[in-house]
Structure 1
Amino acid sequence: MTHGANRLFTKQMDVAYDDRLIVSDLNLSIPPGKITALVGSNGSGKSTILKAMARIIKPRGGTVYLDGKSIHEQATKDVAKQLAILPQNPTAPEGLTVSELISYGRFPHQKGFGSLGSEDRDVIHWAIEVTGMSEFADRPVDKLSGGQRQRAWIAMALAQKTEYLFLDEPTTFLDMAHQLEILKLLQKLNAEEERTIVMVVHDLNHAARYAHHMVAIQHGKVMSEGTPEQVVTQEVLRKVFGIEADILADPRTGVPLCLPFELCATSEGIGS
């Protein structure tokens, strides 16, 4: 993909943990105004790529560009006004209420150690409303169910009022109803707020249904990217996940549905 209008992209990015290179020479562009899903087997490097693009990890080589400038050379507050990230399994301090947690999202917009202004309070109220958390606003985060807690964290990320929202496996450990709830919320935010959403997704069918753009990762490299129809193919599933699968059209949306039935004889996707 050419960078063109893509304002967030990596150029020859390498990411390593100690001496182990996880991502090598990665050139990846995030299409603006769309939902992008990063998919791949466990250990493929997708969460590492997400963290490096969101400035949580510093690449060993290459660069992440946001609006023509290296993201790692920009001031933390400046980046936090443009990009919010929800890591996997975040934890809140004991006793912190939902509205207190959400107020943390306003930090990048505050001057010095200023208290919350009326605009901050309006945004916090909006984030509580849009995530359906009004009845839980005064409840401690650690007393919520998994789905409620995840919505509270998403509300905090939304309160940052950023154009880019990064999420690392936002539906992990949630039951089916809460998974749908979170994915539909993200879909709504993308459609109504025009947020650019980038998420690591474990479930291929969720990725195909809710993302406009998919990127299949293996060994820290892009094996395939494009629309769900271009990425969810038998060939890509063999190569990236090491599975044989039937691909059907979703009767509601027409997007591809993956039904795995067998491991490949040479299943490279396992344990990669």
Structure 2
Amino acid sequence: MNRLVTEHLSIGYGDRLIVDDLNLRIPDGKITALVGANGSGKSTILKTMARLLRPQSGNVLLDGKAIARMHTKEVAKELAMLPQNPVAPEGLTVSELVSYGRFPHQRGFGSFTKEDKRMINWALQVTGMMELADRSIEQMSGGQRQRAWIAMALAQGTDILFLDEPTTFLDMAHQLEVLKLLERLNQVEGRTIVIVVHDLNHAAQYAQHVVAIKQGVATYQGTPNEVITADMLRDVFGIEADIIRDPRTDAPLCIPFGLVSETEEQQRELIFS
């Protein structure tokens, strides 16, 4: 049984329906990538699965229980969410930020227990942030800041981790830094990770399961080889692309060369202009 599933999930803002009758099964112990065009509903789905948004109908089930009816702290002990572009209070140090991840486990305003301190130190170590623990967040590079936020999520001690576009606005080196960390957390720690990602080649390289969203519908689901195809790119993204094999990993690589709506003459004009 998959720990995390959605059943007939419909999500909207006011009268505008974003997602309709969504049924997903998130594979345990794998990295799942949600991909799709801008405005397709990827982040909305992720936020709803993390209980940051309430669906109009349907359920998100965690271990067979509807998370909407679970206590907030109970949910926070099972899954952690890293939103887009999180902002820390000015002057906050890395260790202070990471300690916030232990709040779901605290009772009242008590001090940190030995277990809290152990989890904070473990999260700092596994993300490579121990040496930067006393440095303020605003002094960090983009990649370091993302690792600090991931460390905070890890300190919650959850088996399920959600991340909404964690590589956005990062240069290539810092993107790889974050993706390699997530890969290690999955392979070594066995974390179930659900990530919204724009770069299809990142999804193909680092995810074992891919869900392609088109106008709020999970149109394609499966392994990268099953999902990342020329037909899917044409249907979901409206682009023409060649799919080749990565010489190192044999994962599919997407090389776009035109828009579905373009004529060949328009494409030539774009290429030679």
Secondary structure, counterpart of 1:153 in structure 2: helix
> TM-score, length-normalised on structure 2?
0.95
Task: Supply the RMSD in Å over aligned alpha carbons.
Answer: 1.0
Which of 135-144 and 208-217 deviates more?
Answer: 135-144
Structure 1 residue 38 displacement after superposition: 0.1
Q: What are the equivalent positions in structure 2 for 1:67-146 lying under 5 Å apart?
A: 67-146=63-142
1:59 aligns with 2:36: no
Structure 1 residue 266 displacement after superposition: 7.4
Deviations 1:13-46 (A, max 9, x none): 1111121100011011100000000000100000
Residue 270 of structure 1 corresponds to which residue in structure 2?
none
1:249 aligns with 2:245: yes
User: Which of 148, 151, 157 matches 1:161?
Assistant: 157
Gaps of 5+ in 2: 264-273
Q: Match for 1:167: what amino acid?
A: L
1:201 aligns with 2:207: no
Deviations 1:32-67 (A, max 9, x none): 000000000100000000000010000011110001
Query: Which one has a bigger Cα radius of gyration?
Result: 2
Matched residues in 2 for 1:112 and 1:6: separation? 33
Give the number of aligned pairs: 263
Residue 33 of structure 2 corresponds to which residue in structure 1?
37
Q: Match for 1:115: what amino acid?
A: S
Gaps of 5+ in 1: 268-272
Identity %: 68
1:232 aligns with 2:215: no
> TM-score, length-normalised on structure 1?
0.95
Matched residues in 2 for 1:266 and 1:37: separation? 29
Structure 1 residue 265 displacement after superposition: 2.0
Q: Match for 1:123: what amino acid?
A: M
Residue 180 of structure 1 corresponds to which residue in structure 2?
176
Which of 152-161 and 131-140 deviates more?
Answer: 131-140
Q: Match for 1:181: what amino acid?
A: E
Matched residues in 1 for 2:54 and 2:165: separation? 21
Contact in 2 for aligned 1:242/1:266 (Cα 8 Å):
no
Structure 1 residue 114 displacement after superposition: 1.3
Secondary structure, counterpart of 2:90 in structure 1: coil
Matched residues in 2 for 1:32 and 1:115: separation? 33
Deviations 1:213-233 (A, max 9, x none): 000001000110100000010
